[in-house]
Structures are given as C-alpha cells and as structure tokens.
Structure 1
Amino acid sequence: MRWAQALGRRALRIRNLRWWIVALICAGTMANYLARNSLGVLAPELKTALHMSTQQYSYVVGAFQLAYTIMQPIAGALVDRFGLRIGFAMFALAWSAANMLHALAIGWLSLAFFRGLLGVFEAAAIPSGIKAVAEWFPARERSVAVGWFNAGTSLGALIAPPVVAAVAIWADWRWAFIVTGAVGILWAGAWFAFYRSPETHHAITDEERALIAADRPATPAQRTPARDILRLPRFWVIAVPRFLAEPAWQTFSFWIPLYLATERGMDLKQIALFAWLPFLAADLGGILGGYLSPFLMKRGVALIPSRIVGISLGAVLMIAPGCIGLVSSPYTAIALFSIGGFAHQMISGLINTLSADVFNPAEVGTANGFIGQAGWIGGLIFSLLIGQFADTIGYAPLFAVLAVLDLIGAAVLILFIRRLVLPSPAPVPVEELSR
C-alpha cells in the first residue's frame, strides 16, 4: 500500500508547479473583483431602484473602502498566522456570502452595510496573493508572477460589465449579486483542495523545490511584529506611493460606469459593450510591467531600480486619463481610460512586488496588508471627494488630479530608493536570468 501511494505521488509531480499556483491565485482575484465591480456596473440602475443620490452612492462605495482599509493588515496577519490554505479559502467563502447578501438591500443604508461586510472579507485577497508569490518564487521571477496574478483583478473587472449586465437584463439586479457571489464559493473549494506550501506540496518536483529553497536565507527569518513593521523606513517608501496610486484604480472600478452614464449619456447595454476595455488594457499593463523588470535586470539594472523604472513609466502614462476632460467623444474618453488602466496596473503590480522583495515570507502578508491599507485610505478619501464634487465641478478636474498623484508617488520612490534595503541582498547571476 505504501509503495502504491508513493508511486501515485511520483506520477502526480507537475513541472513548474509554481506557475499553476499563480493561475489559481489569478482565478481567485478574478472572483474577488467580479464581486467587487458588480456594484459599479449596476450603479446607474441602483440609483434609480434604491432612490440614491450621487453623494449617497459615494457613501456606499466608502463603506466598502473603509472596511477594506481597516481589515487589510488584520487579514494579512490572520493569513500569516493560520496559513494560506485555510485562511484564503475561509475569506473567499465569507466574501461570496457577503456579496450575495446585497440582493436583500432595500435602500442605500442597507446596501452600504452589506458593502461594508464585503470589504471586511475581500481585504485578504491581495495580501494572500503576495504571500503566495513570496513563498513560491525566487526574487528574479516575482514581478512576473505578481503581474500574472494581479491580472486577475482586471480580468474580474473586465468580465463584470457584460456578465453583470446580462444577468441584470435577463433577471434583475438582485440576481446579479447572487450569481457573482456564487463564483467565489466554487473557487474557495478549489483553493482548499489544491493549495499547499512548496515544502509540503505532493505535486512539486525535487528540482523546483530546490530552486525555491535556494533563494531563501539559510536561517528562516522571524516574523516582525506589526508595530515594528510600521517603524521601518522601507515600509513608508512603499506605502506613500501606494497611497497616491490607489485612488486611480478605485475610481476606475467604482465610478467609470456612472461617469459614462451621467456625462457621456450611455445606457446599461452600452456600458456593457465598452466599460470592460480599460480593464483589458489593465491586464496587459500588469503582465507586461511584470516582464519589464527581468528584462531590465538582464541588461544590468539592479532588482529594486528595475521595479522603480516600471513604476515611473506607468506614472507618465497616467497623464492620459488626466486629460479626459479635454476630449468630446465618449470613445476617445474610453481610450484614455484604457491607457490609464494599462498604466495603473503596471504601477500596482510593481509596488506590490516591492513588498515581496523587501519583506520576508513570514511577515509579507502583514506588511502588504498595511501597505494596502495606506492605498485604500487614499482611495476612500478620493471617492468621498468625487461624491462631494462630481455633481458641481464635474469629473474632469478630479481625473486630472489622479495623474498628478501618480507622478508624485514615482518621485518619492526615486528620491528614497536607498531606503529600500533588502534584508539579505544577493546578486542574481546573468545565466539564471536567461533561463
């Protein structure tokens, strides 16, 4: 019997298993963002059905953002404490149930309550993904891995407009929340069934386990207490640009459909046809931004500077959506949004990769949770500003501010690059990069 079990395990070995792990994480972030972006797609209809003003809608968005902001470091710490397999699956089940509860909303207050619940549980997604990348990938591959799993955020946002609109037209908006929530339940089961750490996964090859272990310090690093992480200069050098960059993505996720409806005159069907394009471009930005870093490293650029070059390029491209107020065609506006989606996901993926670069795997979930919290504080503040001023001064000046914020964030990274000290620096052989 033992011989048969051992033979079966050998037969199940999968080469390059770490990339299958990334695909599984990508599917999880897709489920996460499909549920999250359902609100934005349904916003024009919900404003009518639940008798909401633009300001009240901003409070609904803010409830999610506030809960998500508070929970990110807590969720990251819980995943660090209980492990990825159990922690990520339980959070996915919880966010799926919270999304389905949106169908019970009878006004903006109840919708805000359910939205807050969703924010509490969805906060685990990015810290969990970054922790998995830190566990499974050597440093030279992390930006590529983050680019692919981070593509799930924009893939989820990409499929949300056609999927949510189709369900809402076929049934109604309540069923749209139920269907998008059910997707997360299916993914949670798959994650719990298939995920293991590289040390214990039965399908990993000996060669891949050795490749991952070779990039780890000889002595396992100790987990730094949360209060000490907040005192580290390298934390703030990453957290400040994340604070400045995140408002753009949250504006795209929660406000593009409402902007297209109110200022560009599009109905739900037209939004379903075009609102996914910025998120398709975002996929390309996240993936290509991930490959940019190893491309530069092959040409002699060090690890941390290679990340910052990509972030700076993305910040320059963010000037495009800042100019939306200067164009009259709604299709040109969508094209500029698409450039912004490409640029932002390049920035976001590389900033998240930096947290995996400068914090060890035992603490990266907590550290990335705090960094994400900084970003979501920025997003919450900006969403409330949109709710306050969109009906009076319009969206155009607010979009222009987004471009300025990203340029400032890139400048912070350039000026304080020396603060991003790796815990155990080691040169990357050129022959390894060429593999």
Structure 2
Amino acid sequence: MDGSTQATDPGPLKAGGNVRWVICALLFFATTINYIDRQVIGILKPTLQTELGWSEIDYGMIVFWFQAAYAIGLLACGPLIDRVGSKLGYAAAITLWSFAALAHALMRSPNGFSSARFALGLGEAANFPAAIKSVAEWFPKKERALAAGILNAGANVGAIATPIVVPVIALNYGWRAAFVVTGLLGFIWLAAWLAFYRAPEHHKRVSAQELAYIRADQGNDAGTAPIPWRKLFRYRGTWAFLAAKFLTDPVWYLFLFWLPDFFAKRHGLDLKTFGPPLIAVYLLADVGSIGGGWLSSALIKRGYSVNAGRKLALLASAVLVLPIVFASTVSSLTAAVVIIGVAAAAHQGWSSNLYTMVSDTFPKSSVASVMGIGGAAGAVGGMIMARYVGEVLESVGTYVPVFLWAGSAYLVALLIVHLLLPRLDNTVPLPSAAGRGTSTAA
C-alpha cells in the first residue's frame, strides 16, 4: 500500500449495499456484552466488599488476575484467529467468557472470584482482535476508523447498561442473579453470529458492487500470507501499538473497575445512586468513540494523508484527557462527572484510531496477531495499575496520584508512536529487519 491519498479513496465507486454495516452492528453488540460481563464486578464492588469482607488489596488482586489472563489470552488468540478466521474464533471466545461470567455466581472467596475472572479474561481477550480483523475484511480503509469507532462504542453502551441493569437485579434478586442474567446474553449473540457471519466473498447478501467497494483500496493486501508471529516484533508498527496500549489501556481499566468506588468514596454514592453519574460518563465516552473515528475518516476524505488524519485525531484525544488530573480534587459531583466523562470520551476516540492504525500498517492476515500483542501489553499495564491502585487506596486512601498518572499517559504514548512511525502509510521496519519489510508491514 502506498501513502497517497488516492490509495485510500475508492473514487467514484458506490457502496452498492449495506451488509458490512450489519456485520458492524454484530461487532457492536458483541463488544457491548463483553463490557457488561467485564464491568459487573466493578458495579458490585462496594456490595461484595461489605458482604464478603474484601480488602482493597483483595479486590486489586481479583482485577490483577483478570488482567493477567487477558494478557495471556491476547497473545494466544491473535495467531489463532488469524488461522481459523473471525467466525469460529469469535464463537469460541464468547462461549468461554459467557460460561466464565456465569461461574461468578458460584463464588464467595477472593480466590474463587480470581479464578472466575481469570477464565473471563481468557475468553474476553479475543473480542477486539476478532472484531478489528472483521473490520479489515469488511470495510475499505476510508471507513475503517468509523466502523472501529462504532464497534468500540459498544464498550460504552455496555458500561452504560451495566449500572442501569445490575443494581436493579442485585437489589431485587441478589448479586448472584446479576452474574447469571448478564452471563446468558452471550449465548443469544452467538446464535445470531453463527447464522449470519460469512467472509464478504462468500456472503450471499453481498452484491458484486458492494464487494468491489470493500476491496477497492486494499491493493495487494488480499491473500497476503500472515507474518510469522515472532517476526512481527521486527516491525516498528508492532512496537508503536504495543507501547501505546501499555500506557493508555490502564486508564480505561481504571474507569471500568474503580469508578463506582471513586464515586462512593469521594462523593458518598452507593448502589442506588451512582448509576446516573456512570451513565453520563459512558454516554460521553460513546460520543468520543464514534466522534474520534469520524474525525480521522473525515480528515482523510478531505484530502489529508492517513498519517495526518490518524495522528491529528490521536492528538486531539490526548489533549482532552489532561483535565482528569483535577477529577479527584473538585468538590462538585457534576464537575467530576464532566471531567471524567470527557477523558473517557477522549480515550475511546484514541482507541478507535489506534485500532485502525493496525489495519493501516499491516495486512489483514496479521491484524489479529498484532492486536493480540498490543492488547496483551495493555493488559500487563492494567495488571500494574491494579496492584498500584489497590496499594494507593489501602495506604493513602485517595485517587489523586492515580489521576495524575492517567492524565500524562496519552501524550507520552503519542510521542512514542510518532517517533517509531513518522509515517503510518509508509512504515519502516526496525534495523534488525532491514530489507525485509514491505509496504504492508510496519
């Protein structure tokens, strides 16, 4: 693929159909379920701490083991999904994580919950590698960031739905019922996925015109053999994505697993009252997810290079996160919600473009593997964050140091990305791979 604007513009071709957006809707709902199952424990943290007697360090370790499994799962699932394909890979993953979600209802001890979270992390790890691989298969480059933003918005919808649904279930039927009801959602999605998903060239509902539109700007990407997993580490694109995920994913995990606790400790909210603030935060995050993807896609359509479009969107997101350093010092709940909500929106806009960066710089056959490597790095960062936050809360009792760290992560990550990849659309291999890189590899 070359770096010209023309390379990312199918020209006068018309879409000729919308099957690709039905696929995007399925990816959106899978991500929604993924985040519902992931976030239930954060919503129930104050209840479980009171009923089961957990310390802050106990909860930190439960989150730690989820992150550890997530990292392991990402390293394993990327090459597996590239080998077996999105359809079977996604189906296996959601089956595993849905059974693990149900298993939480059987646990009482921190060790039991750690085991259930470990299994959940293994299954949930496959969501984004499979989803971004599906986007690379189903969308032309100029639509990929928007499609990634829409599916990524499923994370925010899941995060919005959880504080609405889980307290109602828990208050009326107990916390165990909350894990059972949410755990069953994945099996409903699984039936729809197996019934509808096919590769574009094998899908009966895809017209020849839509298939041509999807393939128009993919050059010689189609049919490219996967880059061997170990050799992916020879490319700058892998290291750029890895570093960015390591630095910024922990901020999102902070929101998912500790935000209800932050509102409880700082503003006196509980299971009955912290729903609206959480909903407001994730509604803003939804806007950021789609808006961030739209921004870079709009810039590219207006003539900006892929490199400029993606990095301008990343820069805008990084700047919008900065005010989070004040989130734990303001006394107003409304101000805290706005500051955190804007930061969450910026993170999701950042993620939409970061995911798309992988499909910009690697062939479709290697996208899931690179996503897995970067996601594993983010999970390792989340493991460090889990231990750090648990220790800080146990010893200091305030979120101030945590938010100070979160505010700086994105600008540092963007600097690293730019140093490693001065041009996303003409990436350069690391010196050890000199002469081996192609225009489709970073």
Check whether TM > 0.5: yes
Q: Which residue of 1 aligns with 2:4?
A: none
Q: Which residue of 2 aligns with 1:319?
A: 322
Q: Which residue of 1 aligns with 2:218?
A: 216
- Equivalent in 249, 253, 256 of residue 253 of structure 1: 256
- Please give the alpha-carbon distance, in whole angstroms, between the structure 1 residues aligned to 2:358 and 2:218: 16
Q: What displacement does 1:126 show?
A: 0.4
Structure 2: which 5+ residue stretches go unaligned?
Answer: 1-15, 428-437
Identity of aligned residues (%): 36
Q: What displacement does 1:213 show?
A: 2.3
Q: Which residue of 2 aligns with 1:431?
A: none
Question: Runs (4+) of structure 1 moved beyond 4 Å?
Answer: 422-425
- Equivalent in 146, 149, 157 of residue 148 of structure 2: 146
Q: Which residue of 1 aligns with 2:29?
A: 27
- Please give the alpha-carbon distance, in whole angstroms, between the structure 2 residues aligned to 1:330 and 1:391: 23
- Equivalent in 51, 54, 59 of residue 52 of structure 1: 54
Matches within 5 A, 1:187-226: 187-218=189-220, 220-226=223-229
Q: Which residue of 2 aligns with 1:10?
A: none
Are 1:89 and 1:189, in contact at CA under 8 Å, matched by a contact in 2? no
CA shift digits 1:102-150 (9 cap, x unpaired): 0011111101110111001000000011000110111111101100011
- Please give the alpha-carbon distance, in whole angstroms, between the structure 2 residues aligned to 1:242 and 1:248: 10
Q: Which residue of 2 aligns with 1:395?
A: 399
Matched, 1:296 2:299: yes
Q: Which residue of 2 aligns with 1:135?
A: 137
- Please give the alpha-carbon distance, in whole angstroms, between the structure 1 residues aligned to 2:167 and 2:234: 46
1:323 is aligned with what amino acid? F
Q: Which residue of 1 aligns with 2:389?
A: 386
Q: Which stretch shifts more, 407-416 or 350-359? A: 407-416
1:369 is aligned with what amino acid? G
Matched, 1:345 2:345: no
Q: Which residue of 2 aligns with 1:4?
A: none
Q: What displacement does 1:406 show?
A: 1.2
Are 1:91 and 1:121, in contact at CA under 8 Å, matched by a contact in 2? yes
Q: What displacement does 1:230 show?
A: 1.4
Are 1:233 and 1:419, in contact at CA under 8 Å, matched by a contact in 2? no
Structure 1: which 5+ residue stretches go unaligned?
Answer: 1-13, 426-435
Q: What displacement does 1:16 show?
A: 1.5
- Equivalent in 103, 110, 114 of residue 101 of structure 1: 103
2:141 is aligned with what amino acid? A
Q: Which residue of 2 aligns with 1:274?
A: 277
CA shift digits 1:153-186 (9 cap, x unpaired): 1111111111111110110000000011101111
- Please give the alpha-carbon distance, in whole angstroms, between the structure 1 residues aligned to 2:313 and 2:386: 26
Q: What displacement does 1:392 show?
A: 2.7
1:364 is aligned with what amino acid? V
Are 1:308 and 1:413, in contact at CA under 8 Å, matched by a contact in 2? no
Q: Which stretch shifts more, 113-122 or 375-384? A: 375-384
Task: Give the 3-state SS of the residue equivalent to 2:365 in structure 1.
Answer: coil
1:132 is aligned with what amino acid? S
- Equivalent in 393, 399, 414 of residue 410 of structure 1: 414
1:398 is aligned with what amino acid? V
1:29 is aligned with what amino acid? T
Q: What displacement does 1:273 show?
A: 2.5
Q: Which residue of 2 aligns with 1:365?
A: 368
Q: What displacement does 1:304 show?
A: 2.0
Task: Give the 3-state SS of the residue equivalent to 1:418 in structure 2.
Answer: coil
Are 2:62 and 2:113, in contact at CA under 8 Å, matched by a contact in 1? yes
- Please give the alpha-carbon distance, in whole angstroms, between the structure 2 residues aligned to 1:117 and 1:359: 30
Are 2:145 and 2:293, in contact at CA under 8 Å, matched by a contact in 1? yes
- Please give the alpha-carbon distance, in whole angstroms, between the structure 1 residues aligned to 2:71 and 2:102: 21
Q: Which residue of 1 aligns with 2:243?
A: 240
Calculate the TM-score normalised by the size of structure 1: 0.92
- Please give the alpha-carbon distance, in whole angstroms, between the structure 1 residues aligned to 2:300 and 2:411: 23
Task: Give the 3-state SS of the residue equivalent to 1:222 in structure 2.
Answer: coil
Task: Give the 3-state SS of the residue equivalent to 2:274 in structure 1.
Answer: helix
Q: Which stretch shifts more, 297-306 or 334-343? A: 297-306
- Please give the alpha-carbon distance, in whole angstroms, between the structure 2 residues aligned to 1:349 and 1:298: 17
1:320 is aligned with what amino acid? P
- Please give the alpha-carbon distance, in whole angstroms, between the structure 2 residues aligned to 1:263 and 1:105: 29
Are 1:95 and 1:117, in contact at CA under 8 Å, matched by a contact in 2? yes
Q: CA RMSD, aligned part only?
A: 1.5
Task: Give the 3-state SS of the residue equivalent to 1:215 in structure 2.
Answer: coil
- Please give the alpha-carbon distance, in whole angstroms, between the structure 1 residues aligned to 2:95 and 2:182: 12
Q: What displacement does 1:78 show?
A: 1.5
Q: What displacement does 1:73 show?
A: 2.4
Q: Which residue of 2 aligns with 1:8?
A: none
1:171 is aligned with what amino acid? Y
Q: Which stretch shifts more, 261-270 or 26-35? A: 261-270
Task: Give the 3-state SS of the residue equivalent to 1:325 in structure 2.
Answer: coil
Q: What displacement does 1:270 show?
A: 0.6
Q: Which stretch shifts more, 84-93 or 415-424? A: 415-424
Q: What displacement does 1:300 show?
A: 2.9
- Please give the alpha-carbon distance, in whole angstroms, between the structure 2 residues aligned to 1:75 and 1:270: 38
Are 2:141 and 2:218, in contact at CA under 8 Å, matched by a contact in 1? no
Are 2:87 and 2:194, in contact at CA under 8 Å, matched by a contact in 1? yes
Calculate the TM-score normalised by the size of structure 2: 0.91
Are 1:90 and 1:188, in contact at CA under 8 Å, matched by a contact in 2? no
Are 2:328 and 2:399, in contact at CA under 8 Å, matched by a contact in 1? yes
Q: What displacement does 1:424 show?
A: 4.2
